[in-house]
């Protein structure tokens, strides 16, 4: 039996998943690794531990399933985005811990860049808003703070990479220093029109070009793994950032197609075709996975608290014992009886970007029960998603034909139906909700001819359930107006310090 191996290198764990030709999962192995919090707002990973756990799960899944390395036609990599590694080209050793996407240490520097008037130029070139999330300021921080790093970088002795690059380097013992274009688009150094590193941005952030990996398509043979690692030299056929990989794994390859991942937060991407669309609604413009040279673009927006609101019902107020229980509780009442919950526990993300918003439950009356609150929590997730989807429609000028969903909370039928109702769009849940890993497998499998065409992939992707909108337009308008009222109550709550 031939398989594709997906390396799903996430923020808290490394996983390896084998997919067969029908797109079914043959085996999964997973290992968590340590999170380092050296100071408030700082988050680091040991890049060597990332590599070791990733290799270990690759070996483990082969052992578990009895599949030999020779039967793995390709490896596809998908990874936590923006996490930044700088290493020595000769020894292959990182010169510092990896700075994780969540790390805020460069936030003040980003404020200064904005104050100095660089925001428009950076957005026009990269599609991103200046923020500490992206790699550029993290690389700069390492070069400024690790002794002699700047000099070594200028002498060409150091290499930078996001996690895809770091894994490709290690899988090939340093023969390949490359990155895929979707990961590159999250560095804040890539010109998204040309898909090349941008000299003005490199000057702005004082980063020598020699550190940077070669930018290659997401579905592409980058090289072969060293044979001793997994029992055979395996083609490295694809790489993509996790959210772009999920978009591809959901087969959203035509413009107007969108996916949402309902996890702790929500991550939405909408394919806007082969021309980047600048955002006026505070979304990000980013590169989506294309095949070989044909770049595709997406609009991206995220919601910070989604499934986490259900965790709060479970752990914070102990209203339920497990997350899935929320559905039965919410379904025990016909509606929220006018109760709205705005889960702005950590401020609001797209399209509001209000760091000072905080959670609110409004409209409580004497008849309100925990069932109404549970329902309002689920609806609050869907309303936030609906606001981002509207921003995407406005920015792209395209109608949204359907929303494909994945992530832990997409198992909740009541939430999916409400999403469909409130957004007036069919919501489609696929059979395989491991879409991030599936996307990487598709990219790699296409590069080596395991699957021959995007059309063949379309046949592999299968629907589990479609939720069609049932709510009347008047009702939708009423609910969304009330939601906006509730949202207004939550905004600017924390005093700005």
Task: Point out which residues bind ligand ADP (CB under 6 A).
Answer: 263-264, 307-308, 310-311, 323-324, 326-327, 407-409, 411-412
- Beta carbon nearer to ligand ADP, 12 or 39: 12
Based on CB atoms, which residue is closest to ligand ADP, 291 or 326? Answer: 326
Residue 111 or 413 with smaller CB distance to ligand ADP: 413
Residue 454 CB, shortest distance to ligand ADP, in Å, is: 26
Tokens of residue 302, six digits: 């995220």
How would you write 276-302 as a 3-class SS string?
CCCCCCCCEEEEECCECCCCEEEEEEE
CB nearer ligand ADP, residue 196 or residue 332 = 332
The first and second tokens of residue 279, run together, are: 């955002």
Least Cβ distance, residue 323 to ligand ADP (angstroms): 4
Q: State in angstroms the smallest separation of the CB of 195 from ligand ADP.
A: 29
CA distances in angstroms from 68 to 61, 62, 90, 449, listed in the order given: 10, 6, 32, 19
Q: Which is nearer to ligand ADP, 137 or 264 (CB)?
A: 264
Taking the least distance from each CB to ligand ADP, the nearer of 217 and 407 is: 407
Instruction: Identify the CA nearest to 255 among candidates 420, 400, 395.
Output: 400
- Unique residue bearing structure tokens 């794994």: 249
Q: How far is the CB of 405 from ligand ADP (least distance, A)?
A: 11
> Based on CB atoms, which residue is closest to ligand ADP, 86 or 440?
440
Determine the Cα–Cα distance for residues 163 and 167; give it in Å rounded to an integer: 6
Minimal distance in Å, beta carbon 468 to ligand ADP? 20
CA atoms of 286 and 191, how far apart (whole Å): 10
DSSP 225: -
Closest approach of ligand ADP to the CB of residue 325, in Å: 8
Shortest distance, position 410 Cβ to ligand ADP, whole Å:
8
Asked whether 445 and 4 are in contact (CB, 8 A), the reply is: yes
Q: Please say which residue, 202 or 323, places its beta carbon nearer to ligand ADP.
A: 323
* Closest residue to ligand ADP, based on beta-carbon distance: 408
Sign, Cα dihedral of 415, 421, 422, 426: positive
Nearer to ligand ADP, 54 or 412 (CB): 412
Spatial separation of the C-alpha atoms in residues 410 and 451, rounded to whole Å: 28
Question: Least distance (Å) from ligand ADP to the CB of residue 406?
Answer: 8
Backbone torsions φ then ψ of 235, nearest 5 degrees: -70, 135
- State whether the Cα torsion 325-328-329-330 is positive or negative: positive
| Cβ contact 310:321 at 8 Å | no
In the complex, the smallest distance separating the C-beta of residue 31 from ligand ADP, rounded to whole angstroms, is: 16
Please give the angle made by the CA atoms of 302, 306 and 309, to the nearest 5 degrees: 150
Q: How far apart are CA 282 and CA 300, in angstroms?
A: 9
């Amino acid at each position: 039996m031939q398989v594709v191996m997906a390396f799903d290198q996430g923020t808290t764990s490394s996983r390896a998943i084998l997919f067969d030709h029908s797109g079914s999962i043959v085996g999964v192995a997973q290992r968590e690794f340590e999170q380092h919090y050296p100071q408030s707002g700082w988050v680091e990973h040991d890049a060597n531990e990332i590599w070791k756990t990733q290799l270990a799960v690759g070996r483990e899944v082969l052992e578990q399933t009895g599949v030999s390395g020779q039967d793995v036609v390709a490896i596809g990599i998908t990874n936590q985005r923006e996490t930044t590694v700088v290493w020595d080209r000769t020894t292959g050793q990182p010169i510092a811990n990896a700075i994780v996407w969540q790390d805020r240490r460069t936030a003040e520097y980003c404020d200064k860049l904005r104050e100095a008037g660089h925001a428009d130029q950076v957005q026009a070139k990269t599609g991103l808003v200046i923020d500490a999330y992206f790699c550029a300021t993290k690389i700069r921080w390492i070069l400024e703070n690790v002794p002699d790093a700047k000099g070594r970088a200028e002498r060409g002795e150091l290499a930078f990479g996001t996690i895809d690059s770091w894994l490709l380097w290690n899988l090939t013992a340093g023969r390949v220093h490359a990155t895929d274009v979707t990961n590159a688009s999250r560095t804040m150094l890539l010109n998204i029109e040309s898909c090349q590193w941008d000299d003005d941005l490199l000057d702005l952030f004082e980063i020598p070009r020699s550190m940077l990996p070669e930018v290659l398509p997401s579905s592409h043979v980058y090289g072969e793994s060293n044979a001793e690692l997994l029992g055979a030299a395996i083609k490295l056929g694809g790489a993509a950032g996790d959210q772009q990989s999920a978009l591809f794994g959901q087969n959203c390859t035509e413009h107007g197609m969108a996916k949402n991942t309902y996890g702790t937060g929500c991550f939405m991407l909408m394919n806007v075709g082969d021309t980047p669309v600048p955002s006026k609604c505070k979304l990000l413009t980013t590169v989506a996975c294309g095949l070989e040279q044909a770049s595709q673009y997406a609009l991206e927006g995220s919601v910070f608290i989604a499934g986490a609101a259900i965790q709060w019902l479970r752990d914070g107020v102990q209203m339920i014992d497990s997350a899935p229980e929320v559905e039965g509780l919410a379904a025990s009442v016909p509606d929220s009886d006018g109760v709205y919950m705005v889960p702005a526990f950590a401020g609001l993300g797209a399209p509001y970007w209000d760091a000072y918003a905080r959670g609110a439950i409004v409209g409580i009356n004497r008849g309100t029960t925990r069932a109404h609150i549970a329902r309002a929590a689920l609806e609050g997730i869907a309303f936030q998603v609906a606001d981002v989807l509207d921003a995407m429609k406005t920015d792209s000028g395209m109608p949204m034909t359907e929303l494909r969903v994945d992530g832990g909370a997409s198992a909740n039928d009541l939430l999916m139906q409400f999403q469909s109702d409130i957004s007036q769009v069919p919501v489609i849940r696929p059979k395989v909700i491991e879409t991030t890993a599936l996307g990487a497998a598709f990219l790699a499998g296409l590069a080596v001819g395991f699957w021959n065409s995007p059309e063949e992939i379309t046949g592999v992707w299968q629907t589990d359930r479609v939720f069609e909108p049932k709510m009347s337009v008047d009702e939708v308008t009423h609910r969304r107006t009330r939601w906006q009222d509730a949202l207004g109550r939550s905004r600017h709550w924390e005093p700005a310090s």
